[in-house]
Structure 1
């Protein structure tokens, strides 16, 4: 079993933080352009999209900024890696969500191609919001990995791996999910404040998931009704060609139905922009749940160490009384007084070491709760730019 100290997330250099200041007050950040590129390796063509991040210093009052003006291309996977790093380095923070990589809750009538221009442009806007929200945070906006993400194109991934040893994205996500589920099931003592936050997160996620599912089904029905109008338009137009007296009226009716059918995709696309906001709220609720899960993982480690102390204390008492284990009695071994004293001393040393780790873990827990509570309150008060 690994100790609490071994499982602590990677930390950034200690910086005196001015809670009223952040990177966005000193730098303009925009994701201004998206570009499709292709790799050709081993006769396999791989297409991907890169995004142009442009930065411009608005004043020189921040010593952490290295370059005044910059342009850098980043893939979506690099944004994912940045967020995974932020989640590990700042487990107590409400980490902003990324826009979805692929279509979730697809709607009939809209392209599900990840290279669709409308989808790519919405993702570009979402990535810009993601960077703005990190840059608005007074603590994590000062992180060296975030600053180099904006300024250093070559070798950035290797820099993150060298610093925190991240696994590949999906492996890390799966590992964190398994640990979180294990902690939720096994912990004995929960925190009312975090449990209240978890219930709030679950209720929000349930509402938004049901909303997205219902919307997907309802849009399909509306889409089918609108598409029927295209058939009616064609029918009336063909009918007008063979009718002499009613031809003009039938043709006007056909044009009317055609105009309704032509507005179908516009209606769905406009609604999709609203659904992107709903999905963002859903992902934010998931970020709140992640904070609760990380607290439970710390609590599980504390409880495991407490159980270890109890076990070693009972073992020490038996050893001090000269009571032997089953194996010792079966083999007929006889422990000398010297061996008994040595064993008691070893157990006593192990108990003291574990108690010290428990003390450190509880201090870490108190610090975690304090930081998480403050960040959640700041998140509730914060108004993000659109």
Structure 2
């Protein structure tokens, strides 16, 4: 990567970087540890519009994306020994297709599977399905070629993010997504992730019931809300600036028209005015390339707008685990209290059973003994449940916080690089404006 003093800074997702800088991006990703990118080159090479019939037999137009892969050595170790799709892969031999087409909905299915399977990981987001924060000259149509191209870049970035992750890169379903033309969906559904995803819905309301929330996760959730707020505000400001900048540049084309008309009535000044008009026309036309490049930086900011939601998903999962632990602990405490009251023959808290005993007499010793045995078994089961929930919560916190720290480093690096690159682009744009007026000045001086 370029240092702070360089005028060119490579950022993942920028189509204008050199091949060398692009390789630097992938090297930075691979530096995180043993990952799929060390063994396989991955790219989303192109997009193609197709027409077909959907699930309800209606005609539809959709876009598919070509994923190209090339193994560089041994395929990655896969976590689940019974299903290792890459075991037969040896160096220099690739028994699986090196290219295949995927729809956006298939990327969505993959990400939903990763969300459910790895709840403690900040799962990389997909690019937007429909354009947001657009300015008036930018099409919001999801079939627009420019939008499809930016989404292609975003989908490639998603795959590189997953393939560079120390945990996600070893997932067997992800490997199948990259290498199996057919059958990978069946493998996804066989994991039973859909049934697991239903339980995740509880997490949406868990936060309102957790009595002792973890301060770190509460602060992280608040930070994610703020990150979403500031990035969305920044994107709105950028869209407004782009709108006005487009107008200012295009108005410069009027200079070109006026200078050209003026040159027609001047003999000695004509050539100078005509030349200055050409510079103004070129200046007015240059805004299209400038704003197209800006869109790539906007997409990088959008990635972290969506990343914020992924961070909140981890926080919600922790809230759910915390709620389940608190519920199990309360249930165990209630059972122990019932055991003490039953053993002592007293009821310190109001209950329907207590009122029944007062009205119809005390239970027999045999009945009490039977209930005590049932409570004793329930207490043993409750203690096991509390222990399991405690260990599950502790393990989740350990793994989640490790991944969150990794994400923070990635975020700080990426946003710093993106903002620096945006500043460099603005400086370059201003220099071009100065050069245009310098050229115009020379034209005027020769009249």
TM-score normalised to structure 1 length:
0.80
Query: Matched residues in 1 for 2:228 and 2:369: separation?
Result: 58
2:29 is aligned to: none
Query: Matched residues in 2 for 1:333 and 1:105: separation?
Result: 71
Instruction: Describe the shift of the 1:226–1:328 C-alpha distance in structure 2 as closer, same or farther (beyond 3 A).
Output: same
Task: State the Cα distance separating 1:195 from its structure 2 match.
Answer: 3.2
Query: Matched residues in 2 for 1:346 and 1:295: separation?
Result: 32
1:192 is aligned to: 215
Task: State the Cα distance separating 1:277 from its structure 2 match.
Answer: 0.9
1:6 is aligned to: none
Specify which of 65, 78, 81 is matched with residue 51 of structure 1.
65
1:79 is aligned to: 107
> Is residue 34 of structure 1 aligned with residue 62 of structure 2?
no
Query: Matched residues in 1 for 2:185 and 2:239: separation?
Result: 37
> Is residue 296 of structure 1 aligned with residue 296 of structure 2?
no
Query: Matched residues in 2 for 1:139 and 1:295: separation?
Result: 19
Q: Aligned residues, how many?
A: 361
Query: Matched residues in 1 for 2:111 and 2:300: separation?
Result: 19
1:182 is aligned to: 205
> Is residue 201 of structure 1 aligned with residue 224 of structure 2?
yes
Structure 1: unaligned runs, 5 residues or longer: 1-18
Query: Matched residues in 2 for 1:311 and 1:224: separation?
Result: 70
2:329 is aligned to: 306
Instruction: Describe the shift of the 1:227–1:345 C-alpha distance in structure 2 as closer, same or farther (beyond 3 A).
Output: farther
Task: State the Cα distance separating 1:153 from its structure 2 match.
Answer: 2.3
Instruction: Describe the shift of the 1:165–1:96 C-alpha distance in structure 2 as closer, same or farther (beyond 3 A).
Output: closer
Task: State the Cα distance separating 1:290 from its structure 2 match.
Answer: 2.2
Specify which of 29, 38, 43 is matched with residue 25 of structure 1.
38
Task: State the Cα distance separating 1:214 from its structure 2 match.
Answer: 1.8
Task: State the Cα distance separating 1:305 from its structure 2 match.
Answer: 1.3
1:119 is aligned to: 147
1:217 is aligned to: 240
1:11 is aligned to: none
Structure 2: unaligned runs, 5 residues or longer: 1-31, 78-83, 419-447
Task: State the Cα distance separating 1:256 from its structure 2 match.
Answer: 6.1
Task: State the Cα distance separating 1:106 from its structure 2 match.
Answer: 1.7
Task: State the Cα distance separating 1:307 from its structure 2 match.
Answer: 1.8
> Is residue 147 of structure 1 aligned with residue 175 of structure 2?
yes
Query: Matched residues in 1 for 2:76 and 2:295: separation?
Result: 39
Instruction: Describe the shift of the 1:145–1:297 C-alpha distance in structure 2 as closer, same or farther (beyond 3 A).
Output: same
2:16 is aligned to: none
Specify which of 341, 348, 352 is matched with residue 326 of structure 1.
352
Matches within 5 A, 1:124-143: 124-143=152-171
Instruction: Describe the shift of the 1:61–1:237 C-alpha distance in structure 2 as closer, same or farther (beyond 3 A).
Output: closer
CA contact 2:206–2:320 (8 Å) conserved in 1: yes
Task: State the Cα distance separating 1:75 from its structure 2 match.
Answer: 0.9
TM-score normalised to structure 2 length:
0.70
Task: State the Cα distance separating 1:156 from its structure 2 match.
Answer: 2.2
